């Protein structure tokens, strides 16, 4: 079973790496197209969009490094493995988004304050922007789908990053249209609107990453309780807790059983409970079950009351 799990995890890692590598190449092509033509046409928004796409590429590199480190096997100092390094990589992408937002916003503010507008709008400007927008939307859709399928924080964070690039491109296109209509400052104003969109994307990445790092519950407690209590031999389940990544969940719970049940029988029951949970939730990698006799003392849940009192 362990060997199969290891093989499945290796296959997942390789799939994530292939997605990140492919997206990296596409992001580099998109970044060069926007930045080079933005420089030629003196479009602050296009140049900013190109810079943002460069950060997309850097985010892909961070993702490749992060997933490689996260897949290192458990060792003496890290008995639970290194899976949270994938989430730390997501946080780095979020920080890179904030820096990208600063780059986009600061250049636009300087241009607005100085009143210096030199944007040249040509048919090629729209060809470049619409073409890169199509690529970004395709990449975002594919990467998000793969992130959900592989339950990868890093892919979903990078998909959000690429989506922000698509939002930037839409803003730039709107700005170019307005500039062509004679509103010269529109290019820089749209750059500021895009900055806000990037910051919102970064916030969403931080929210999801902190949920993992703060050990937020991954499976509703009631679902697990109902599943376990449906098993013959289990009289009651309580203190159900889950944490970890979407694809690497740790679960522990307490179960009440017949006080006269033998150690061997209770051990067999625990094995069966673990099997049922694993079948229902394949993403659960580790299960810890505490067996208690179904008597008055344990039905009062003294430990649970202490936990609630500590919270109060």
Structure-token match 């810890």, residue found = 288
β-strands 236-245, 248-257 pairing: antiparallel
Cα radius of gyration (the chain): 26
Burial (CB count within 10 angstroms: exposed 0-12, middle 13-18, buried 19+), residue 259: exposed
Asked if 227 and 276 count as a contact pair (C-beta separation under 8 A), the reply is: yes
**For 127-163, how does the pLDDT look when each residue is reduced to its tens digit (9 = 90+)?**
888 888 898 889 889 988 988 888 777 788 778 777 8
Cβ atoms of residues 242 and 224 within 8 Å: yes
Q: Is residue 2 very low, low, confident or very high in pLDDT (cuts 50, 70, 90)?
A: very low
Neighbours of 294 (CB within 10 A): 16
Confidence of residue 254 (pLDDT cuts 50, 70, 90): very high
pLDDT band at 273 (very low <50, low <70, confident <90, very high): very high
Q: What is the pTM of this model?
A: 0.58
Query: What's the rounded mean pLDDT across residues 180-198?
Result: 80
Q: How confident is the model at residue 307 (pLDDT cuts 50, 70, 90)?
A: very low
């Amino acid at each position: 079973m362990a060997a199969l799990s290891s093989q499945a995890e290796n296959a997942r890692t390789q799939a994530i790496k292939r997605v990140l590598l492919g997206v990296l190449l596409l992001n580099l092509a998109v970044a060069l197209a926007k930045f080079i033509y933005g420089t030629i046409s003196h479009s602050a928004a296009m140049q900013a969009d190109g810079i943002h796409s460069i950060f997309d590429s850097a985010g892909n590199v961070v993702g490749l490094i992060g997933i490689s480190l996260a897949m290192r096997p458990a060792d003496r100092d890290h008995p639970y493995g290194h899976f949270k390094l994938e989430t730390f990589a997501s946080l780095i992408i979020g920080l890179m988004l904030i820096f990208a937002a600063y780059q986009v916003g600061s250049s636009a503010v300087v241009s607005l304050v100085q009143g210096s507008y030199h944007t040249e709008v040509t048919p090629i400007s729209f060809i470049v922007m619409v073409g890169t927008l199509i690529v970004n939307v395709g990449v975002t859709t594919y990467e998000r789908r793969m992130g959900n399928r592989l339950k990868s924080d890093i892919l979903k964070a990078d998909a959000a990053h690429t989506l922000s690039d698509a939002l930037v491109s839409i803003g730039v296109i709107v700005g170019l249209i307005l500039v062509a209509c004679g509103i010269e400052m529109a290019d820089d104003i749209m750059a500021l609107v895009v900055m806000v969109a990037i910051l919102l994307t970064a916030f969403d990445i931080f929210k999801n990453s902190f949920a993992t790092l703060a050990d937020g519950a991954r499976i509703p407690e009631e679902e697990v309780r109902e599943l376990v209590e449906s098993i013959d031999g289990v009289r009651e389940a309580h203190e159900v807790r889950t944490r970890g990544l979407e694809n690497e969940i740790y679960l522990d719970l307490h179960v009440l059983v017949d006080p006269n049940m033998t150690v061997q029988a209770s051990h067999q029951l625990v094995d069966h409970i673990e099997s049922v949970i694993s079948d229902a939730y394949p993403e659960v990698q580790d299960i810890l079950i505490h067996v208690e006799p179904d008597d008055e003392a344990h039905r009062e849940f003294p430990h649970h009351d202490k936990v609630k009192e500590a919270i109060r």
